[in-house]
Amino acid sequence: MLIKKSLKNLMLVFLVIIYSCERDQPVFGENGMVVSTSSQASQVGIDIMKAGGNAIDATAAVGFALAVTSSSNGNIGGGGFMTVKLENGNSFTLDYREMAPKAASRNMYLDRDGNVIKGKSRYTHFAAGVPGSVDGLLKAWRDYGSGNISREQLLDPAINLAENGFKLSKYEAERFNKNKDRLSKHPETKKIFTRDDRKWKEGDLFVQKDLANTLKRISKNGRDGFYKGETADLIVKEMESVGGWINYNDLDNYVSKYRDPVKGSFMGYDILSMGPPSSGGLLVIHMLNMLEKVVEQKGSEFDLSYNSVDYIHTLTELERRAYADRTEHMGDSDFWNVPQSMFLSRDYAKNRLQDIDFNKATSSKSVDHGNPYASQSEETTHYSIVDKKGNAVSVTTTINAGYGNGITVTGAGFILNNEMDDFSSKPGEPNMFGLLGNEANAIEPMKRPLSSMTPTIVLKDDAPFLILGSPGGSTIITTVMQNILNVILHDMNIKDAVSSPRVHSQWLPDMIFHEKNGLKNSTVYKLKKMGHDIRMRSSIGEANGIMINEKGFWGGADSRGENTAIGY
Ligand code: DON
């Protein structure tokens, strides 16, 4: 009996090693899985679960670790969303999106002539919303953690990584080097993230003492270690250098909020995702509702195989309509009546299909958007976690652009977000992702800017089947949708589902973007013939997913960028 058990264990270890070594396969785990953009952070999540924590404990610990190891997007100076399905069947989402400070006003990024002041909503102190990550991560841990992991245990790994440093990977070193100009603009950022003339290289020890001290204050005092006391003093002082922007009241008033997940279904699978202030969940569900109708109506005459002409044309036409609705109808639902039932309605989805010509591109109204795609990188981050009891967590978190607004709070060691750019500075004026917005997403004090982040859980028979999400600004929504379709429609495993080439379109600019090797030449040719404008661009999204079946957990780390799945 004992021999049989040891043999079984040995086989399992062997299996895990094989899967972990095989880069193109999903990683297997029997007791838990973490997939994130940082190997150190993924390991922190696994260690927390091994120490008796559940997936929610691991989520909070991974969030703090990412703030240290993935400075471009991991954060305590930004915000995020969490979608959770608990082992007891309940589900919730947590919105810890940044809030506009009290001093915010509708036209704050416009000059006297009503023109947008270049860069003000992106690369200045005024670009930062009040950060929500610390409040959100601690709230989730407090309310849904196992009770086995103390706050100190949650923060210790992050403190250790910041205080004693960690060795930079080649990818992270190159990212610092690539962004050196941007990181040199603010003196505190320059001090921490650049090295005189010397270039960072793989294996360099990266130590962040100020950040370690901030994390220690959070460890000791919880939420108050960030929103009050010394950290608050440092944030307010930083803001005083521009005459004030975020003040003590703004920090004190910050609150993360539990919200009901938005729910839909596709071909027999149920979908849980993030509702407003994210546009992501509603748009994914709306587009899948449309696509399911197309499958029903055109299934036999249509070739809906992966990246076929019919498939890309159909997705593009659905996306065109969905993003047009986003522009008009979506904003923070605490401030604007977002027509959620319209987006979730199958009748509305059916109606929206009426004017699609399945042989010809519809034209989006022509607006000059510049070229928002030229230099965009995937600078938000998504992580997925599941524990042995089946608690499943999907988190997308961001400081918006890579390294946010580029401003480090002097003495506190963390970079601030530039999430204010996700508001509509002016109707008709695209944000950094080319997204437009109107009244629904206008700037108001205490409001949250509209997001595209789409942390999602797909259920099979009411149990988690897929945990998905991605960075990528406006492309997050179409990335998550394609990940779902890759598994459900195209039968891919999770590694292939997240790594396969993607396409993206969003109403305006009126264009299909595709990754290198994503579409055959003949497909591009035929789509052009149908009237589509098509352009190749840099990578689209960076998805870190988990698939769950009767055997266990399968981690799919996106081959783009530097992502790590660890199972145990
Ligand atoms: O919330 C949003 O939609 C954006 N702030 C996300 C930014 C992002 O994904 C950046 N990556 N390219």
Q: What pLDDT, in 10s, does the model give residues 224-237?
A: 999 999 999 999 99
Taking residues 357-383, what's their average pLDDT?
64
CB 477 within 8 A of CB 283: yes
Parent domain of 309: 262-379+453-555
- Is 398 close to ligand 1, i.e. is its CB under 6 Å away? yes
In a domain, 412, yes or no: no
Contacts of 247 (CB under 8 A, 6+ apart): 101, 102, 103, 236, 239
Q: What is the pLDDT of residue 271?
A: 98
- Is 542 close to ligand 1, i.e. is its CB under 6 Å away? no
User: Per the confidence metrics, is the pTM higher than 0.75?
Assistant: yes
Contacts of 550 (CB under 8 A, 6+ apart): none
Summarize pLDDT for 240-271 with one digit per residue, the tens.
Answer: 999 999 999 999 999 999 999 999 999 999 99
For the chain, the residue count is 568
| CA 334 – CA 272 distance, rounded (Å) | 20
- Is 394 close to ligand 1, i.e. is its CB under 6 Å away? no
In a domain, 516, yes or no: yes
- For the chain, the helix, strand and coil percentages under 3-state DSSP, each to the nearest 5: 40, 15, 45
Measured in degrees and rounded to the nearest 5, phi and psi for residue 460 equal -120, 125
DSSP 254: -
- Is 562 close to ligand 1, i.e. is its CB under 6 Å away? no
Closest residue by CA, ligand 1 atom 1: 451
Task: Return the number of other C-beta atoms located less than 10 Å from residue 463's C-beta.
Answer: 14
- Is 452 close to ligand 1, i.e. is its CB under 6 Å away? yes
Strands 27-29 vs 534-536: parallel, antiparallel or unpaired = unpaired
CB 26 within 8 A of CB 47: no
Percent of the chain residues topping a pLDDT of 70: 93
What is the number of domains present in the chain? 1
- From residue 67, alpha-carbon distances to 76, 229, 378, 404 in Å are 6, 20, 16, 12
DSSP 294: H
pLDDT above 70: residue 353: yes
In a domain, 239, yes or no: no
| CA 13 – CA 312 distance, rounded (Å) | 41
Task: Supply the DSSP string of 67-79, one letter for each residue.
Answer: HHH-TTT--SSSE
Give the active site residue among 194, 380, 456, 479. 380
Summarize pLDDT for 267-326 with one digit per residue, the tens.
Answer: 999 999 999 999 999 999 999 999 999 999 887 788 999 999 999 999 999 999 999 999
pLDDT above 50: residue 1: no
**Would you call 564 a catalytic residue per the annotation?**
no
User: What is the CA(338)–ligand 1 centre distance, in A?
Assistant: 20
Residue 109: band (very low, low, confident or very high) from pLDDT cuts 50, 70, 90: very high
User: What is the CA(136)–ligand 1 centre distance, in A?
Assistant: 18
Report the mean per-residue pLDDT for the chain: 93
In a domain, 112, yes or no: no
- Is 281 close to ligand 1, i.e. is its CB under 6 Å away? no
In a domain, 497, yes or no: yes
Residue-wise over 186-208: b if at least 16 C-beta within 10 A, else e? Answer: bebbbebbbbeeeebeeebebeb
Atom of ligand 1 nearest to the CA of 452: 3
- Is 405 close to ligand 1, i.e. is its CB under 6 Å away? no
CB 503 within 8 A of CB 475: no
Token digits of residue 555: 């981690």
CB 52 within 8 A of CB 59: no
| CA 219 – CA 223 distance, rounded (Å) | 9
- Is 453 close to ligand 1, i.e. is its CB under 6 Å away? yes
DSSP 417: P
E strand map for 274-317: none
In a domain, 191, yes or no: no
- Is 376 close to ligand 1, i.e. is its CB under 6 Å away? yes
- Is 475 close to ligand 1, i.e. is its CB under 6 Å away? no
User: What is the CA(12)–ligand 1 centre distance, in A?
Assistant: 39
pLDDT above 60: residue 101: yes
Torsion sign over Cα 165, 125, 136, 260: negative
Token digits of residue 492: 């891919």
CB 273 within 8 A of CB 261: yes
Instruction: Return the closest-CA partner of residue 310 out of 321, 324, 295.
Output: 295
Atom of ligand 1 nearest to the CA of 422: 5
- Is 380 close to ligand 1, i.e. is its CB under 6 Å away? yes
In a domain, 373, yes or no: yes
Token digits of residue 511: 């264009």
The best mutation among 133, 399, 476, 513 to test binding of ligand 1, ranked by most ligand atoms within 8 Å of the C-beta, falls on 476
Atom of ligand 1 nearest to the CA of 471: 9
DSSP 105: -
User: What is the CA(341)–ligand 1 centre distance, in A?
Assistant: 25
Token digits of residue 274: 């993030």
Q: What is the pLDDT of residue 365?
A: 67
Q: What is the pLDDT of residue 543?
A: 96
Atom of ligand 1 nearest to the CA of 377: 12
User: What is the CA(116)–ligand 1 centre distance, in A?
Assistant: 20
pLDDT above 80: residue 439: yes
As beta bridge partners, residue 513 has 504, 535
The best mutation among 375, 435, 453, 470 to test binding of ligand 1, ranked by most ligand atoms within 8 Å of the C-beta, falls on 453
User: What is the CA(430)–ligand 1 centre distance, in A?
Assistant: 14
By three-state DSSP, how is residue 545 classified?
A: strand
E strand map for 444-557: 456-460, 463-468, 503-504, 512-514, 534-536, 544-549, 552-557
Percent of the chain residues topping a pLDDT of 90: 87
The best mutation among 283, 376, 380 to test binding of ligand 1, ranked by most ligand atoms within 8 Å of the C-beta, falls on 380
pLDDT above 90: residue 488: yes
By three-state DSSP, how is residue 394 classified?
A: strand
In a domain, 152, yes or no: no
Domain with residue 331: its CATH number is: 1.10.246.130
Taking residues 143-172, what's their average pLDDT?
98
